[in-house]
Every structure is written in structure tokens, then in C-alpha cells.
Amino acid sequence: MEKNLDFDKIENRRNTKSLKYDFAKKKGMPEDVLPLWVADMDFQTSSYIKEALNHYIQKGIFGYSEVQTSYFEIVRDWMKRHHEWNIEEKWLVKTPGVVFALAMAVRAFTNPGDHVMIQSPVYYPFSEVIKNNGRQVVSSDLVLKEDHRYHIDFKDFEKKLIENDVKLFLLCNPHNPVARVWTKQELEMIGDLCLKHSVMVVSDEIHADFVFKGKHQVFANIKEAYKNITVTCTSPSKTFNLAGLQISNIIIADPKMRRAFRKEIQAAGAGLLNTCGLIACEAAYTKGEVWYEEMKKYVEANIQYTKEYVQKNLPGVTMIDHEGTYLVWLDFRKTGFSHEELEKKIIYEARLWLDSGAIFGNCGRGFQRINVACPRATLKEALKRIQMIL
Ligand SMILES: Cc1ncc(COP(=O)(O)O)c(C=O)c1O
């Protein structure tokens, strides 16, 4: 039976090498800030995952490892069950994390100096992996409309593809930080433009298991032609809170693309994976269903709580309509604070460590991203602290 279903429990994560809890001072924050920034959860993972890892650790031998077909079958069954996607064994390439895979894709499918397109505001490593590999970032910024949702300006999207001779597009679906779950129609418009202009796509679907409105569409699965231009990034790490174990399952159907991608991994000397990640993934996808469903309900209730709290108690703050991910995007621009004032108030008066909107691109100034995958009491405390500074 699943044992870790008490999501109200406050875990002490201090002194656990936690990036979220133990590095405030090093990162220039007051030591006592309440952290709701980086995307990991304050919940213990499934007890089945703990058991599987305990079993492995008890052996006391930590040699090199690889997986058999059964690993692929487990990943395949999860994708089929949750996302109606049938993948083949040869399509699977495992990597130590999704950001690593993004970097490998940039290196495999573009040349130094080429333009790679993103949609700001977006998860900041998207632009980092482009710049750090000597490529150029071009953004077709998302547009926030009256309905409190972000939209794609398809005219601008196509114009930027053409003007910059873009070779690769990094799609974030669901989109962190604006919480959109792209519709099939939107994805088809993206896909058709990419096909028309010979642009390859990396579809980062790490948040696919957190969809609260609408339905997650695997981009590569919408049309046969998309499958042949796409690298799909998946991982149990967000879903089961395994980010520290560095495991992701990258799906590439096209043999030429797969070869180029694998070649970059070889060049980086990163052929093997952390055994704990492989073991955790197997346990998560075979035995973690109850934990996942319950955790998702809890997070959904946190999102609803945040929405109501913002409406009732945070004048000038708007919560962007939330469709997916456990990262909520708050618009503070009507509070009257400048971006810099807001930052100072959040950190030094509210003593909160959130993710500043500006790190996701210039168009994120005046926004804050708040991670609501935490006990309700932690969330309540954070929202109360925001209320106090307004
Ligand atoms: C869109 C997106 N991609 C990738 C990652 C991180 O992936 P990994 O830890 O596997 O590198 C995150 C984490 O927040 C994310 O939001």
C-alpha cells in the first residue's frame, strides 16, 4: 500500500543539500527566506520509490548499470496510459536530465552562430543552452491578452523563423512559467510552420503529467510529419519529485536525428546514467499511480486556493489562468511597484524566495513565479506574506 499520502506534512528539508532550502545565503538571499522557487516539491515521493531505492542501497554495490527492454516497456506503458502515445524501443534515448538533452539537441541540430527560437517568457535554461553553445536566441514572445491567458502571435512566429533562418525551435508544452497547455490547434499551427520552414523541434514535455485544464497533446504524435522533425523530452522527475536523480527519457523517432543526438552525447562522454534514477523511474511508472493521482489532486487544490486568495486578498495582483504545471504565474504590474521595488519587497520584506519573472525573459518583468507543490500551510504562509507587502 502507498504510504506517502500525507501532503500536509511539513518536511524539514534544511541541511539535505537541497538547492531550494540550503543555498539562500550563497545566492544572495537572507538566510531565513521561505523558498517557493525552484521546481521541486516539498513532498516525499511515493513509498514504492523509496522502497526500490532502499533495496538497491542495501546491497552496497554501486557499479555501472544499464537497463533491459523491460525499462523501455515501463516507459512505453506510461506514455500510452497517460498520453495515448505509442513509442518504439529504438526511439528511446536516456539522458541525465532534460536540460542536458536540450543542450545536446542545440549542438546536434544547429551550427555555431545559428538562430534557435524560443517563446519568452520561458524556462530560463532554454536561452542559456542556446547562448552557452554559441548559438543565437530569437524569441517570438507570447502575448498576454485580456482573458489572462498567453497566446501565440503566429504572424510574428513565422516572420521570426524566416528573418532569422531559424533551424531549431524549443517548445515548452505545458509552458513554464505561463501555465498554458497548448491546444491541438495551436500545436498544429506551430508544427505546420516548422515543417514549411524546415525547422526542427525540441518539445519539452516534462510537465505533461500536470494538466488541470484541457488535455496534454504530445506534439510529435499529432501528425506523422511532426514525429520526423521532433525530439520529445519526458521525465518522471517533475511528476514524482526525482529531480536530484537526473533521469529523463528522450524520444526521437527519426533515425538520422537520433544518430546526431546520440553522437553529441558520446562526444560529451555521458553514455551511462545514475542507477538510482533508473530504479526510481521504473518504480514510479509501475507502482506510483496512486501517489501521483493523490498528489495531483492536492496540487490542484493548492492552485485553486491560490486563485481565490489572490482574488480576495491581493489587490493589484492577477493570477494568470492556470492550465498546467505546478508553477503559478502572478502579475504584479498593477500594484504600482516598479520591478526593482517588487523584487526588494518580496525578498527583504515578505522574506520569500520566489522566481523573479525577469529571469524568464524581459517580458517577465513585474511578474513572479510561485511553486505551489508544497503543504497548504506553507502556501498559506507565503500568500499571507505577499498580502503584507501590498
Ligand atoms: C520546462 C522544463 N524543462 C526542464 C526542466 C529541468 O529538467 P532537468 O532537471 O531534467 O534538467 C524544468 C525544471 O523546472 C522545466 O521546467
Nearest atom, ligand 1, residue 100 CA: 11
Distance 278 CA to ligand 1 centre (A): 17
Task: Give dist(CA 278, CA 285) in Å, integer.
Answer: 11
Contacts of 4 (CB under 8 A, 6+ apart): 43, 44, 45, 46, 47, 50, 291
Q: What is the pLDDT of residues 103-113, one digit of tens each?
A: 999 999 999 99
Query: What is the distance in A from the centroid of ligand 1 to the CA of 125?
Result: 8
Ligand 1 pocket, residues with Cβ under 6 angstroms: 39, 97-99, 123, 172, 176, 204, 206, 235, 237, 243, 248
| Predicted confidence (pLDDT) per residue in 46-80, tens digit | 999 999 999 999 999 999 999 999 999 999 999 99
Give 295-349 pLDDT, tens digit per residue.
999 999 999 999 999 999 999 999 999 999 999 999 999 999 999 999 999 999 9
Residue to probe by mutation, ligand 1, list 124, 238, 281, 369, most atoms within 8 Å of CB:
238
Residues 9, 45 contacting (CB under 8 angstroms) = no
Nearest alpha carbon to residue 106 among 126, 123, 124, 130 = 130
Q: In angstroms, rounded to a whole number, what is the distance separating the alpha carbons of residues 165 and 148? A: 32
- What pLDDT does 271 receive? 87
User: What Cα–Cα distance (Å) separates residue 110 from each residue in 113, 124, 361?
Assistant: 8, 19, 22
Tell me the torsion sign for CA atoms 33, 36, 37, 42: positive
- Grid cell 523517432 is found at 253
The stretch 121-141 carries a mean pLDDT of: 98
CA–centroid distance, 312 to ligand 1, in Å, is: 32
Mean pLDDT for the chain? 97
205 CA to middle of ligand 1, Å?
9
Distance 206 CA to ligand 1 centre (A): 6
Closest by CA to 250, choosing from 268, 267, 269, 273, is 273
Measured in degrees and rounded to the nearest 5, phi and psi for residue 2 equal -65, 130
User: Which grid coordinates belong to 339?
Assistant: 520591478
Provide the pLDDT for residue 58: 98
Q: What span, in angstroms and rounded, lies between the C-alpha atoms of 250 and 145? A: 33
